[in-house]
Amino acid sequence: MADKSFFGRLQTLFSTNAVVRRVGTNKLKVIDVNKAQSNSGLATNKLVDRYTKLHASSTQMTYNQYQTFQQQRITLFTDYESMDEDSIISSALDIYADESTIKNEFDQVLAINCQDQDVQKILHNLFYDVLNIEFNLWPWVRNMCKYGDFYLKLDITEKLGVTNAQPISTYEMCREEGTDPDNAEYVKFVHDVSMAGQSSAAGMQSKTDLENYEVAHFRMLSDTNFLPYGKSMLEGARKVWKQLTLMEDAMLIHRIMRAPEKRVFKIDIGNIPPAEVDNYMQQVINKMKKVPYVDQTTGQYNLKFNMQNMLEDFYLPVRGGQSGTEIDSLSGMEFTGIEDVDYLKNKIFAGLKVPKAFLGYDETTEGKATLAAEDVRFARTIERIQRIVVSELTKIAIVHLYSQGYTDENLVNFELGLTNSSTIYQQEKVSLWSEKISLADSMKDNKMLSEDWIYKNIFNMSDKEIKVQQAQVIKDQEGVFRKMKMSEEGEDPAK
């Protein structure tokens, strides 16, 4: 028998791929909560272990293989933690979060559009008062970009909705799909504290099963090989970062060891027997390396190291002919460039998809054209991150509205949006519309083509849309005429 309780109905709502509701008379609104439309059923949906190359779907893996895969995920996270300590990569993660959570012209991080004012007020209260999205969204986005996944556990109360959201460590969460033979679309989450190497508190279980509606799973779905998890924004630069780290260490070690200028001491040993040469050379080295010192307070005799002489100096015994004691200088290493390090650094920028100018490394950019082009390309990357964030925020909003009793079209009849930070990106859209309008005006003034042709071919409108817009234009003209009469005669012609 079906569970008719509140949480049972909520589980049923999220036990399918999508939440479908009819909006209006002939429009369907589909919320793809599990992103099944983009990746479900593809032949490339394999869990790929980057080390042991295990290829198997989550339902085909044995228990040991599945555990191995989960442990390898934690190994990846360990690399990401080390990468976050790098100044370039840490700045790149900050930029992802900064650019994704910028405020719009109305000083809002998240724009909420809804025809029902009551629903809009409820969602505004949820995101700005309950979840405090203006402060919390920045670390949420940063962690999602860093690990590829971010989990929020939702505290849900009937008739009140979502009352709190608690972030859960990516190390401790597992997403399980296809575990119910009666429902192939069933998704659940397992909170396993032991995966992060922690021991559960006394009387508490190390594993906790969480339903789909209890967890908001933000995941970067850019590569199906990582499903059912997301792919970190750092994964493309992980291999290059390791190479760059080794190259930088090798460069520093080489330069530190080779930087000092050394001296070559050629000591004339005269007629000293060969067996006594070593002792004589050691006496000379000790005499030059150490200076006798007598402590005035204690009277103790000590041989202090002489800093004027380096340990790496060379002492060579010479004899015969006109040879005498000489001291030559051996120059240190000359710094000729770091082309190899710059090569790997450029590959890291390519993997991170952040323009070098944003991080202060592109000082040769003279004009704005190149930077503008980079800005537009980076804006598309930010837009992709924002779409992922908005999709999970929509899921949270649906849970909140359903808990407060909304079940019909108001459950899905709203739009959430984040602000794209690129003004150039917005300017290009405005410029495109401006050129279309100028072209339409020119065609209309020259009486070359009809209005219907302009509507269809310049603005790509259907016949129904053309009729709606023409009716709206007439209505606007009526409003203009009404205002003009009211200002001239002081009376409303509509009355």
What is the torsional sign of CA 12, 13, 17, 22?
positive
Task: Count the Cβ atoms, other than its own, within 10 Å of residue 495.
Answer: 4
DSSP assignment, residue 338? Answer: -
pLDDT > 60? residue 94: yes
Task: Count the Cβ atoms, other than its own, within 10 Å of residue 179.
Answer: 13
Distant-in-sequence, close-in-space partners of 80: CB < 8 Å, separation ≥ 6: 146, 147, 232, 234, 238
Contact 196, 147 (CB under 8 A): no
Name the token pair of 136. Answer: 């919390």
For residue 286, what is the enclosing H or E element?
helix 274-289
- Mean per-residue pLDDT for 399-420? 84
pLDDT > 60? residue 308: no
Cα distance between residue 32 and residue 3, in whole Å: 24
Cα Rg of the chain (Å, integer): 35
pLDDT > 50? residue 325: yes
pLDDT, tens digit (0-9, with 9 covering 90-100), for 451-485: 888 888 888 888 888 888 888 888 888 887 878 87
Closest CA to 66 of 56, 53, 76: 56
Residue 474 CA: distances (Å) to CA of 196, 395, 465: 65, 40, 14
Contact 144, 128 (CB under 8 A): no
Cα distance between residue 406 and residue 19, in whole Å: 13
DSSP assignment, residue 229? Answer: S
- Residue 144: predicted pLDDT: 92
- Residue 52: predicted pLDDT: 43
pLDDT, tens digit (0-9, with 9 covering 90-100), for 335-357: 666 788 888 888 888 888 888 77
Q: Does a cis peptide bond (omega within 30 degrees of 0) precede residue 493?
A: no
- Mean per-residue pLDDT for 202-214? 75
Residue 120 CA: distances (Å) to CA of 43, 67, 109, 394: 41, 44, 15, 13
Read off the pTM: 0.71
Cα distance between residue 154 and residue 217, in whole Å: 11
Cα distance between residue 288 and residue 309, in whole Å: 8
3-state secondary structure of 197: coil
Beta strands of 295-383 (E only): which ranges?
Answer: 301-305, 314-318, 326-330
Average pLDDT value for the chain: 77
pLDDT, tens digit (0-9, with 9 covering 90-100), for 48-93: 444 444 444 445 555 566 666 777 788 888 889 998 898 888 988 9
pLDDT, tens digit (0-9, with 9 covering 90-100), for 168-197: 988 888 888 877 777 777 888 888 887 656
Provide the b/e sequence for 217-250 (b: ≥16 CB within 10 Å): bbbbbbbbebbbbbbbbbbbbbebbeebeebbee
Confidence at 114, pLDDT banded by 50, 70, 90:
confident
pLDDT > 80? residue 371: no
- Residue 404: predicted pLDDT: 86
Q: What is the 3-state secondary structure (H, E, C) of 405-474?
A: CCCCHHHCCCEEEECCCCHHHHHHHHHHHHHHHHHHHHHHHCCCCCHHHHHHHCCCCCHHHHHHHHHHHH
Name the token pair of 6. Answer: 């509140």
